[in-house]
Amino acid sequence: MCQQSRNTVFTGGFSNPPVAAAQAFRAAMNAMARPGKVQEITGAAPPEGISVAAGSLLLTLCDPETGVYLAPDVDSEALRGWLAFHTGAPIVSAEQAGFALGCWQELQPLSRFRIGTAEYPDRSATLIVEMRSLNVPNAGLNGPGIKSTASMQLPEIAAFQANAALYPLGLDFFFSSGSQIAALPRSTQVTVGA
């Protein structure tokens, strides 16, 4: 068992890091620039318990200067070791996190996460929310990067409306399922109904 855990730590990174990281970064930035539009993101083979998309985001966006919070539903020795080996990112509390990963319920309350300051609004957390799917839209979106309106699936509506009201402060979100991601930056206005 120890040997299997050790192997999991050292495997599952990008097979061709420069190319795979560039492709994953492009997918992540396209998702953030076009809120609600689903993007494919692959390359990582993370330990069991998180999606390929979430693992690919972590490999792309995290480094030794980026604290990561793992919610209880995804936190494991295998994932901690995998992240440490492939990114060097330290595991931190929710209050210190630059990135957080977990399902919606396990990431609550959102008030624990940094929303930035008036001087440094970029010093906020980005949450990677694991979802069962991204293809049942229940929310309408308006704002930068959206031509007229867009729609996407969200775990609830009120929390994202409250987050948008904090702009330019607030949290940014990625939603991951399988090999797909969608994003919701803090600048996006959210309404009920797709």
99: CB partners within 8 A, 6+ apart: 58, 61, 62, 66, 67, 68, 69, 89, 125, 126, 127, 128
Does pTM top 0.85 for this prediction? yes
Domain boundaries, the chain: 2-192
Task: Return the structure tokens found at 150.
Answer: 């867009």
> Would the pLDDT of 133 be above 70?
yes
Amino acid (1-letter code) at residue 121: P
CATH of domain 2-192: 3.40.50.11310
Separation between Cα atoms, residue 167 and residue 86, nearest integer Å? 33
**Whole-number pLDDT of residue 149:** 87
**Whole-number pLDDT of residue 9:** 62
Angle at 61 between CA 58 and CA 66, to 5 degrees: 90
Mean pLDDT, to the nearest integer, of 130-145?
Answer: 94
Omega within 30 of 0 (cis) for the link into 168: yes
Task: Return the structure tokens found at 104.
Answer: 């919606």
**Whole-number pLDDT of residue 148:** 85
145: CB partners within 8 A, 6+ apart: 32, 33, 34, 35, 185, 188
Q: Tens digits of per-residue pLDDT, 3-40?
A: 334 346 666 666 677 778 889 999 999 999 999 999 99
